[in-house]
Each structure stands twice: as C-alpha cells, then as structure tokens.
Amino acid sequence: MLVVVTAVGAAILPSIQRTAVYNPEQTRGFVRIVLLKVERSTVFSDRGFAETSQKEIHAIPGFGFTYMVEALGSDPADNWHVGVNDDTVTANGQKLSQFKPENLAGGGLSSTHEYRNFDWAMLRQPEVTDPKRAKIIREWIRGMKSATGKLDLKIVAGFGKHKETFEFKGIPVD
C-alpha cells in the first residue's frame, strides 16, 4: 500500500531555533505525573455544538494532552482521579475556554489506558516502579486556541485518598 500526503499552500520553513528544553515530570506526595504529548489539532466533525441540530462538518480547533499518572508508595492503586478540563488550560493567565467559538459546546474526549498495553510509538516510555500502578491518560479539549505558542496546564490526579494538583507552565505548542 502506498500513501502519499501533499500539503498544498502550507509554508514549510526551515527550523531556525533549537527545540525547547522542558521538564515534563512532577511528583507530589504519592503521585507522579509525566507529560508525554501536548498538541494542537483540528478535528472535522458535526458533533459537539451548542445547537444539536448542527449537520454541517466544521473544522474544530483543540488541544490534546497525553500523560502518565503513577501511584507511588504501597497504598492500593484504586479509585483513580485524573483530569484536565476547559478551565485548567491557560495562556498568559487567561483561560483558553473563554475564547471558545460561541457555537461549540465545552468538553472533549478522554480515555485511560493501562501502562503495559499502551501503544508508545514515538513517545518516550517513562520507567515506573510497577506497571500495574501506572495509567496513561489521553484527553482532547475542543474549541481551544493559543496565539502565544505556549500554554499552562493544571492537572488534578491521584488515587484513593491521594489527590494532587500539578501545574505545568509555559509548555511550548508552536
């Protein structure tokens, strides 16, 4: 099978600057988070609108977040708490949700994966103490744009009685 993709009208410029160094890992109490991927994307859909009668396909901007949550210590790793929402993604102190197109409903998509069963492909696979105590979370929030090329992300995550807030500042998204 041969697949050819051609970008017409897109400016592909040589890279002038070096890629940004960024520490994607934080630990608070008994919870560790590692950011694996943050991406801007466009989804083509007729779903997720404020008016449910919408039938046309629209180009919907959004951000995707993939991260690992690891339960440290020996407490049972059950009752997981994970999540990013419309109000926890900011740029320059402003919630990106306030710039959401008016015809879109809030929200997005979310899925949780077992560490051992996750398709790592091009992503760096962080070492963990016990693969059974780690989850991979993929989230996409619709309607968000950032003109600054950077964003701040707040993730509330944990397990059992261990629930922590993690803040990642100045994540490059150019």
Considering only residues 171 and 16, tell me which one the structure prediction assigns the higher pLDDT: 171
Residues above pLDDT 70, as percent of the chain: 84
Asked if 81 and 124 count as a contact pair (C-beta separation under 8 A), the reply is no
Compute the chain's Rg from CA coordinates. Answer: 18
Q: Which candidate, 101, 95, 88, 93, places its Cα nearest to that of 142?
A: 101
| Domain total of the chain | 1
- Is residue 3 in a domain? no
Considering only residues 69 and 20, tell me which one the structure prediction assigns the higher pLDDT: 69
pTM across the whole model: 0.83
- Is residue 78 in a domain? yes
**Three-state DSSP state, 104:** strand
> Can you give the residue range of the structural domain that contains 135?
25-172
**Three-state DSSP state, 89:** strand
* Model confidence pLDDT, tens digit, residues 108-165: 888 999 999 999 998 999 999 999 999 999 988 887 777 677 888 889 899 999 999 9
Distances (CA, A) of 37 to 68, 122, 128, 162: 10, 10, 18, 24
Considering only residues 24 and 18, tell me which one the structure prediction assigns the higher pLDDT: 24
